[in-house]
Structure 1
């Protein structure tokens, strides 16, 4: 009977995937809270209130800086993996672990900002 050649996830890769899923769920909750708390401020800014306009500017600047920082982090993590693979081609390369590291480094700037915004807009301390 032929055996399936479907690759199995290692325990470490499964743990990485679970940690990534947990991080995504936390970010979604914090982003939803941030959006709910920002909407009244943005509406006031649309009506001419300067604090609402500052909040809108802050939101746009944060997003642009998070995208740039995320791109740099993802590029760095990917480059580090490929350089280590190129310098030691006989080493056991775990692509799932490398992909998880790239995903974590890509999400970190966004996670940090959503966590800080949720805390700032709800008035709670971290």
Structure 2
């Protein structure tokens, strides 16, 4: 039996959401790699007493803690919205794959924002100095 137009649209939407998620993760991984590569010399100087390196280490830790907290809150909020939508929608009208991708996007957003900002910031400081 061929898929109904509704199921086909749902599958296309889920595929698009999965592709967007994969692209975001690939970009985030590249930015994280650049950030680590540019941050390591600064952190090594901080280990030897350089104040800039020590500030960078403190900034890295603070950013990670706040990103984890924001990510957990965003995932909880997206999950709650999913359950409310499931409860209030007619049976069979919820696309589970698209909802899962939305939750994953919400969870990754704080990390993605910080990794791209750090890669840009550290790249600028490297060109200047």
**TM-score normalised to the size of structure 1?**
0.88
- Segments of structure 1 that go 5 or more residues without pairing to the other structure are 1-6
Quote the Cα distance in structure 2 between the aligned partners of 1:49 and 1:99.
Answer: 44
Quote the Cα distance in structure 1 between the aligned partners of 2:90 and 2:79.
Answer: 16
Per the TM alignment, residue 90 of structure 1 is displaced from its structure 2 partner at its CA by 2.7
- 1:29 alignment counterpart: 30
**TM-score normalised to the size of structure 2?**
0.86
Per the TM alignment, residue 106 of structure 1 is displaced from its structure 2 partner at its CA by 0.4
- 2:69 alignment counterpart: 68
Preserved CA contact (<8 Å) 1:74 1:105: yes
Per the TM alignment, residue 85 of structure 1 is displaced from its structure 2 partner at its CA by 1.2
Look up the SS of the partner of 1:11 in the other structure: helix
Per-residue CA deviations over 1:36-82 (Å, capped at 9, x if unaligned) read 00000000000111110000000000000000000000100010010
Quote the Cα distance in structure 1 between the aligned partners of 2:33 and 2:91.
Answer: 45
**RMSD over aligned Cα atoms:** 1.7
Quote the Cα distance in structure 2 between the aligned partners of 1:20 and 1:88.
Answer: 25
Q: How many aligned positions are there?
A: 118
The 5 Å alignment of 1:24-103 reads 24-90=25-91, 92-103=93-104
